Amino acid sequence: MICNRKTIRHFGSRGLLPLLAFAMIAFALAGNPAAAQNSLAPNAAPEASPSGGMVPGDTLGTTSDSDYWRAVRHGLQGNVSIPDKKAGTLVQSEGEAWRSFRNGPLTLYASWALLGTIVVLGLFYAIRGRIRIEHGKSNQTITRFKAVERFGHWMLAVSFIILGLTGLNILYGRYVLKPVIGDGAFGFLTQMGKYLHNYLAFAFMAGLAMIFVMWVRHNLPDRTDIKWLLQGGGIFSKKLHPPAKKFNAGQKVIFWAVIIGGVSLSLSGWALLFPFTTHFFAGTFDKVNLIFGTELPTALTALQEQQLNALWHSIMAVFMVCVILAHIYIGSIGMEGAFDAMGSGEVDLNWAKEHHSIWVEEHQADIHKASGSGGAPQPAE
């Protein structure tokens, strides 16, 4: 290319640079015809390029491998160099399913269960009223529960109430409390609640073990429970209550619901306190498949175990709250004289005879036998 003075004068000093750049590009393309063809014909067939339209390096590039991405979507485990091998899972689809179930059906149905329990108890109180001592107070008392029994009961009860309130705050607090008390107060309350929930869990488990050891022999089913159940325990009418031992059939139902539900809560709570260290659900599903011939998944990852633990813990907690609400009702405003059993441990003799007549006879016989005195046994004052 020849540039005379007239050409330079035509383009000027500012137009010379583009001209020189164009000359350099033309020189480069002249030495590489294939590159020139690709550059000048961008719509040419991909096969004409050196890589056939693929991204260099044998990668997928813009192509789609449906089987590969389907495996990734279903939690394909890859390899990572860091200690946390769970990071090798690129996509964990169960996380979205967990979030949708927790924030959807779980919170909705749990709220219905809690509200329904309160409504039913309120209606029962409005219709039946407080269950009174039919023969009135006798001014004589009998020892119902010893100090160690009351200690185990109240340790379990107080810890469960705090655990229940802090747990409900995690489930509903952001919708109920946060708009009322503000972000700062709600954050502080939730953080303190987390600490209480974590540490009082051990008191709950200790209380659960205590009441099981002390009362399990009194809560085994026997034939007196059938008559009690057939008569509805006498709580739906003002007739005399059916005979019962230390615990009647209704109390036995509460006892086993607390024990079984409490153990389930404790196991799932333990797994949440110490994450990725247990495989409760895989082991349980394996036993269920063996017994019932089902096909529940047993090859669960550590993260899937945690997600199931969190959901099950919430479900069982709501169930337990409903059961304890009924227990609190009947042991306080629902029945006259019932609270004394766990208050002072001494209950009115007429109340004991009406609700636990067989136990009263056995208890007085034991006292009489231990005293070694003749005559009829006398109740404790």
Report how far residue 248's alpha carbon sits from residue 297's, in angstroms, rounded to the nearest whole number. 40
* pTM reported for the whole predicted model: 0.77
User: What is the domain count for the chain?
Assistant: 1
Domain that holds residue 325: 95-145+220-371
Nearest to 269 by CA among 319, 207, 204, 192: 204
Convert the pLDDT of each residue in 80-93 to its tens digit.
888 887 788 778 88
* Residue 49: pLDDT over 80: no
The 10s digit of each residue's pLDDT in 217-247 is 999 999 999 999 998 888 877 667 899 999 9
Is there a domain that residue 41 lies in? no
Domain-located, residue 70: no
pLDDT at 33 over 60: no
Rounded CA gap, 220 and 256, in Å?
9
Structural tokens at position 253: 């139902």
Cα–Cα dist 281/299, whole Å: 10
Residue 39: inside a domain: no
Which residue stretches of 177-216 are H helix? 178-215
Model confidence pLDDT, tens digit, residues 18-31: 545 545 555 544 55
For residue range 283-341, what is the model confidence (pLDDT) as tens digits?
A: 999 999 999 999 999 988 888 999 999 999 999 999 999 999 999 999 999 999 999 99
pLDDT of residue 29: 46
Q: Answer whether residue 76 shows pLDDT above 90.
A: no
Instruction: Name the token pair of 147.
Output: 């100090």
Task: Give 242-287 pLDDT, tens digit per residue.
Answer: 999 999 999 999 999 999 999 999 999 999 999 999 999 999 999 9
**Amino acid identity for residue 352 in this structure:** A
The whole-angstrom separation of Cα 327 and Cα 230 is 20
Residue 136 belongs to a domain: yes
Q: Which amino acid, one-letter code, is at 86?
A: K
Nearest to 169 by CA among 186, 154, 157: 186
CATH at residue 279: 1.20.950
Q: How far apart are CA 244 and CA 250, in angstroms?
A: 10
- Residue 163 belongs to some domain of the structure: no
For 130, 138, 187, 188, 189, the CA distances from 202, given in Å and listed in that order, are 35, 41, 24, 23, 21
Q: Which pLDDT does position 286 carry in this prediction? A: 94
348: phi then psi, degrees, rounded to nearest 5: -65, 140
Q: Is residue 8 predicted with pLDDT exceeding 60? A: no
- Band of pLDDT at residue 40, cut at 50, 70 and 90: very low
Q: Please report whether residue 359 resides in a domain.
A: yes
More confident residue, 126 or 377: 126
Helix (H) or strand (E) holding 367: helix 357-371
